[in-house]
Structure 1
């Protein structure tokens, strides 16, 4: 069973704010994706190469509120305050051919595998009952697509590619062990932080305007 990086998730107060944020910083205008009726959210999407993509997600105030906390911590007070200040990289998602098997071998809770849809697209997603980010977003959610080809093949290709994902954490050995249990430790580079430091992650994005760094702290910067 192979585990791969599926997508990165940017949370925003509104989709317009998220799209403008990425457009200003990456120089690309990410098109609309669709709605998630089950979760009360909607998104914009673009390819990041190698069966991966970038998602901008926000609460859909025009839809019926879900009877559960929304995913990606979007109903959490701290997360809401964070994205009210500025859109932010919240977390990452890995894909697998068997989400149930991945959950059995995981040493941490991935939530419950539930069927989610957007238009004609269906997938199983590990959903915690409280909608929380896993380890503050440093551990990934899990997804199993119900498609023959990866959905990113049908997303806009704006010339951006994911070059690498790095996580900074006070307990790097614990993080390494947790990721190893789902076959994901080789997907990221882990750096040690001092005890009690706030963990964060960065993604290197190769854009038409050079390589930029996307961080869970509010920072995109061109580095070459």
Structure 2
């Protein structure tokens, strides 16, 4: 289910830090995918629907190089990925078996996949960087996935970085990592997050002007009134 361009553009202007706070206010504490760090510093904030993939522990009769040609394989999953999705891979936090390398990442990039997010690791580091696919992961390892994992399927609920992710949940990634927004809460979260970003920009400007934090962050009634007056003057 593709996201509309307006929602994507709006979320591209909202930090994952803000989103975690908004979701916390909605009662969701576990939305930041642990171990998902940008492979390269300064990667652009990206937004997309989750396309999920799942690994389980390696079992010797299944986790073999021959499995790469199976109908249930990472190769087949990649060919099912729609343009604009963010691949979210549950690798169980395993850090000594690389789930994807340069060839798979390049194919994903050419298919228009927005990014790869995993609590596991990738291999062929130089090639993955050269593939131009933005990656958020737990690091690098030389061994292939079958050294420690068995791939079992895609587009089903997964647990990535200790967080439940369902297909078509919305993923936002930036320098602080990856956050999931439940699809059912998307419109409400976006509206609240836009207002929070606007208010915090105003608060930051007040700090720059020399104001002390007590009563400003969070704002007391006096400063709420000042902020509302600021919005009115801006026509927002």
Structure number with higher helix proportion = 2
* Rg comparison, structure with higher value: 2
Larger RCO, structure (CA 8 Å, separation 6 or more): 2
Q: TM-score, normalised by structure 2?
A: 0.29
Q: TM-score, normalised by structure 1?
A: 0.30
Structure number with higher strand proportion = 1
